Amino acid sequence: MNILFDINHPAHVHLLKHTIRILKQHGHEVTVTVKDIPAAKQLLDNEGIAYLSLTGKKRDSLIGKAFMQLHYDWFIWQLAIRKRIDIGVGSSVSIAQASRFCRMKSIFLDDDDDKVEPLVVRHVHPFCNTVLSPIALVGNRKAKNVVFYKGTHELAYLHPDRFTPNEETLRLLGIGAADRYFVLRFNAFKAHHDGNVHGLSLEQKLRLVDLLKKHGTIFITTEREMETELEPYRLAVSPEKIHDLLAFATLFIGDSQTMTSEAAILGTPAFRCNTLVGELSCIEDLEHNFGLAFGYQPGDFNRMLEKIEFLLLQTDLKQRWQQKRELFLSERIDTTDFLINFVEHYLKNSENPNRI
């Protein structure tokens, strides 16, 4: 079977890397494409995954994004025809849209709620053959071609069958697993669905740093240029090692959706502060059903600081979070296992693949 994976974000490398590798081992012909995103390419290189690069820089305006999307669609459509691709997989607009005009079937991985991504609901879901979504989205996904599974995107690479944290990463930073340290992550919020979404202000970031530096070491990672005041705390570690750091951290705090989920699933108390709090079912599931995460609107920043201070007084914090993590894992699945099975059986059930 000829399978195409399209990478649009560094997180998608983590999501798909094990599936790509195992499907190759099973004898399938696998092609990987990636947009011109240096962090994503670096992760693919580190994983030893060969790829074709889609040229064209990311744009911030909706019009710019639309023109670039047409460019990417054209490339994927030509590739699908030339390589006689059977199935295209990924959180990829291009695979979904191109599949309408060729023999390729498309599987779209989507863990965001309909209400926060109206453009995807309108311009992607109707084009693809199947939408795969975590079970937390039941009731918040209107597409008729959706299949729900008992996992999350993060469990494709952070399930204990796929990931064991490496303490050597900590030693590279001069800390140990027993040391108190904090990972902070600040987003750029430039995706098409972000709109007027915002996270922490500089003043709030500085207040957070002032609180945490009294209790341990601070590491800050960001996807944009860092403010001068925060530069002393910049994290100096390669991207593929960030999950080791999250696993042993005392707390994670930031305005990032993905890294909040990653920290929580690894058993680290995770705080998120942005205007999307209350809008994303997968993170709300981690917070309200398993108690692994906390979400605060920017206007509730003071309440978040109070909760952080309260947790820092707990001597058994990590042990309690590991117990919560075990409960979460007992009710969820290894997403990589699910994806491999779904893709390999897809064409056999092509008349009604959503029965798988």
Domain identity same for 142 and 288: no
In the prediction, which pLDDT does 60 show? 60
Residue carrying structure tokens 């240029």: 225
In the prediction, which pLDDT does 228 show? 93
Please give the Cα distance from 347 to 171 (Å, whole number): 47
| pTM, rounded to two decimals | 0.91
At 349, the amino acid letter reads: N
Domain identity same for 141 and 205: no
Report, as ranges of residue numbers, the positions in the chain whose pLDDT lies below 50. 190-194, 351-356
Domain identity same for 136 and 218: no
In the prediction, which pLDDT does 191 show? 46
Tokens of 114: 């309909």
Contact between residue 346 and residue 105 where contact means Cβ atoms under 8 Å apart: yes
**CATH number of the domain within which 104 lies:** 3.40.50.2000
In this structure, what is the dihedral angle of CA atoms 55, 59, 64, 67, given to the nearest 10 degrees? 20
> How many other C-beta atoms can be found within 10 angstroms of the C-beta atom of residue 353?
19
Strands of 29-35's sheet in order across: 52-54, 29-35, 2-7, 87-90, 105-109, 130-134, 146-149
Output the CA torsion sign for 272, 273, 276, 277: positive
Domain identity same for 212 and 288: yes
Domain identity same for 183 and 144: no
- Asked, for residue 354, whether it belongs to a domain, the answer is no
Domain identity same for 71 and 178: no
Domain identity same for 326 and 178: yes
CA 204 to chain CA centroid, Å, is 25
- Phi/psi at 53 (5° precision): -95, 130
Domain identity same for 151 and 212: no
In the prediction, which pLDDT does 59 show? 59
Helix axes 301-312, 202-212, angle to 10 degrees: 10
In the prediction, which pLDDT does 67 show? 78
Please give the Cα distance from 127 to 124 (Å, whole number): 5
Instruction: Identify the domain containing residue 91 by its residue range.
Output: 2-159+334-349
Please give the Cα distance from 258 to 218 (Å, whole number): 19
- Asked, for residue 355, whether it belongs to a domain, the answer is no
- Asked, for residue 224, whether it belongs to a domain, the answer is yes
The tally of domains found in the chain comes to 2
Domain identity same for 42 and 82: yes
Pair type for strands 181-186 and 52-54: unpaired
Domain identity same for 265 and 343: no
In the prediction, which pLDDT does 188 show? 61
In the prediction, which pLDDT does 56 show? 65
